[in-house]
């Protein structure tokens, strides 16, 4: 199975003493939807930032689509990030731009040959793809609901047709109904965009096991278990058992 | 103590790198003219009102004080040139620097701080947008361009205030007022002030964008960054003014201009 992302024995320390990632290795299969789970503070976000090239590993290597990120200079790295679409927990919309302008922004930045009309057309198509009603297109982010903000953020992440979609805790802090909506949106988006690899950090086990093809559980800066959802129910590892049963109780 | 000094020096160093890299990136594509214009409109255009108002009253008050002082020694004819020199070389750039640092600098720090804590800057980063090129360069550049323009407005309106006070309110001779100014004030005096103001623009632009860009700690952090940015900028404007004045003197001395 070909890997979209290879994290090879990555160790990361911010202060030179304590390591947050302690020799973490992970291969995310191409075109899969992979969930990364684990208790809070185990380094999930730090791992994502390594994959996005925002942090450099202290030791070890990160390869994305076959490219070793450490071989890129800062400008090349900036360009390379166009391969990613990222949905932030807070949606991170530009609050001084309308919904449509938010989705148009990456297109204006990176597809300079497109005419304003073409940009608008693509942006509107992406917004419709994530199910946002056209009557909201010209509103500011502050004027729409949290769910619609998430949809807009996803449309913006999809604007450049990225190879890899990244979600960091997309449902944390949302109510159960919205959580389910966002999870379904992630699953549909993954299915509708053939060829994309999706990575989702979550501490919602139910959702992770329901929608993901593969799950990686992190503990103390290492991958404790990587496998298909059913591998987790069968696992004999004490921590996995505890985590799985906790998750079940929540549901 | 040693660590404090070392931290201070390394902070200054990283600010200078922050500034030079942001400004140098402006030269590389994509061009950011529309961003620069947007910030010039905000820093420059939107400050004209408050600058005009404060400079008018600065001109009035300063002229009155100098008139009261000069009357004692019978030198009221020199009120005009004294005010003119004081305004163009010192008060114009310094007060414009303080007012614009508080108004536009504070707004820049708050805006960037908000963008940071709302992950908007991270979003730009992962979108493959160089955030220094897009957010920082245009702001600092706009501040450097706008400050001399605003200072010129300040100088002019302050002298209008002085004219109003001297000619209409205390009814001295208008011709003498204008003639004495013409004899004393040279273009280089005005340029001196404009040069200083450009440096002040660079300073508050840098300090406020740096503070805002590296905001941590949520909404409270944004308040702190704004506050620190404005206070540091204001103190630096006043301190730098003294050193710039001396530097300009040295420069004249070296060139043999008296
Ligand atoms: N920029 C940073 N500097 C220092 N420590 C950090 C930084 N980012 C994260 N950490 C530390 O790394 C650990 C893992 O953080 P994180 O990846 O955010 O956890 P989570 O799994 O909840 O996403 C935490 O202890 C955090 O304090
Ligand atoms: Mg996290």
Q: Where are the domains of chain A?
A: 94-161
**Quick check: A78 and B129 CB within 8 A?**
yes
What ipTM was assigned to the predicted interfaces of this complex?
0.83
In this structure, which residue's CA is closest to atom 20 in ligand 1? Answer: A41
Q: Mutating which of A64, A75, A78 best tests the B interface, going by the most B Cβ atoms within 10 A?
A: A78
Cα–ligand 1 centroid distance for A66 (angstroms): 26
For residue A80, the chain B residues in CB contact (below 8 A) are 128
Closest Cβ–Cβ partner in A79, A84, A92 for B119: A92
Distance CA A7, CA A61 (A): 6
Look at B130 and A84 and tell me if their CB atoms are within 8 Å: no
With an 8 Å Cβ cutoff, are A94 and B122 in contact?
no
C-alpha to C-alpha distance for A215 and A199, rounded to whole angstroms = 10
Give the pLDDT band of residue A122 (cuts 50, 70, 90). Answer: very high
* Mean pLDDT score of chain A: 89
Ligand nearest to the CA of A47: 1
**Most B CBs within 10 Å: which of A75, A105, A109, as the mutation test of the B interface?**
A109
pLDDT tens track for B154-197: 999 999 999 999 999 988 889 999 999 999 999 999 999 999 99
The alpha carbon of residue A119 is apart from the nearest alpha carbon of chain B, in Å, by 16
pLDDT at B30: 84
Dist. CA B2–CA B6, nearest whole Å = 6
DSSP-derived pairing of the beta strands A67-68 and A164-168 = unpaired
The answer to whether A81 contacts B125, with C-beta atoms less than 8 Å apart, is: yes
Considering the entire predicted model, what is its pTM? 0.86
Is residue A251 scored above 80 in pLDDT?
Answer: no
Is B118 at the interface with chain A, CB within 8 A? yes
């Amino acid at each position: 199975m070909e890997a979209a992302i290879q994290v090879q024995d990555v160790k990361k320390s911010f202060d030179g003493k304590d390591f947050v990632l302690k020799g973490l290795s992970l291969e995310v299969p191409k075109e899969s939807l992979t969930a990364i789970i684990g208790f809070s503070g185990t380094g999930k976000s730090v791992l994502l930032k390594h994959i996005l090239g925002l942090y450099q590993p202290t030791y070890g290597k990160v390869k994305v689509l076959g490219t070793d990120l450490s071989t890129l200079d800062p400008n090349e790295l900036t360009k390379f990030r166009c391969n990613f679409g990222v949905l932030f927990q807070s949606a991170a919309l530009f609050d001084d731009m309308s919904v449509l302008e938010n989705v148009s922004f990456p297109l204006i930045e990176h597809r300079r040959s497109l005419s304003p009309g073409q940009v608008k057309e693509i942006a509107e198509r992406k917004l419709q793809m994530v199910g946002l009603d056209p009557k909201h297109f010209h509103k500011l982010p502050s004027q729409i609901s949290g769910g619609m903000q998430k949809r807009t953020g996803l449309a913006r992440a999809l604007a450049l047709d990225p190879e890899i979609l990244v979600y960091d805790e997309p449902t944390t802090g949302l109510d159960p109904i919205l959580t389910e909506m966002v999870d379904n949106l992630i699953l549909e988006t993954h299915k509708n965009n053939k060829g994309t690899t999706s990575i989702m950090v979550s501490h919602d086990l139910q959702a992770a096991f329901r929608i993901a093809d593969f799950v990686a559980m992190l503990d103390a800066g290492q991958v404790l278990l990587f496998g298909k959802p059913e591998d987790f129910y069968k696992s004999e590892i004490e921590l996995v058992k505890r985590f799985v049963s906790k998750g079940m109780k929540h549901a | 103590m040693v660590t404090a000094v070392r931290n201070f020096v390394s902070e200054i160093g990283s600010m200078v790198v922050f500034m030079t890299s942001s400004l140098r990136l402006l030269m590389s594509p994509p061009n950011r003219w529309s961003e620069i214009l947007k910030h010039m409109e905000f820093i420059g255009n939107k400050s004209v009102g408050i600058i005009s108002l404060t400079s008018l009253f600065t001109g009035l008050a300063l002229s009155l004080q100098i008139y009261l002082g000069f009357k004692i020694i019978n030198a009221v004819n020199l009120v005009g040139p004294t005010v003119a020199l004081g305004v163009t070389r010192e008060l114009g750039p310094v007060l414009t620097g303080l007012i614009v640092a508080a108004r536009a600098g504070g707004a820049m720090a708050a805006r960037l701080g908000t963008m940071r804590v709302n992950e908007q800057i991270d979003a730009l980063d992962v979108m493959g947008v160089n955030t220094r090129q897009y957010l920082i360069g245009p702001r600092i550049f706009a501040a450097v361009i706008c400050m001399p323009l605003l200072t010129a407005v300040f100088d002019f309106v302050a002298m209008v205030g002085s004219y109003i006070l001297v000619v209409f309110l205390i009814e001295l001779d208008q011709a003498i007022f204008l003639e004495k100014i013409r004899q004393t004030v040279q273009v280089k005096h005005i340029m001196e002030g404009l040069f200083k103001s450009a440096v002040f623009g660079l300073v508050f632009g840098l300090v406020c964008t740096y503070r805002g860009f590296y905001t941590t700690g949520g909404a409270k952090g944004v308040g702190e960054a704004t506050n620190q940015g404005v206070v540091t900028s204001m103190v630096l404007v006043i301190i730098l003014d003294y050193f710039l004045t001396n530097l300009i003197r040295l420069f004249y001395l070296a060139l043999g201009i008296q």
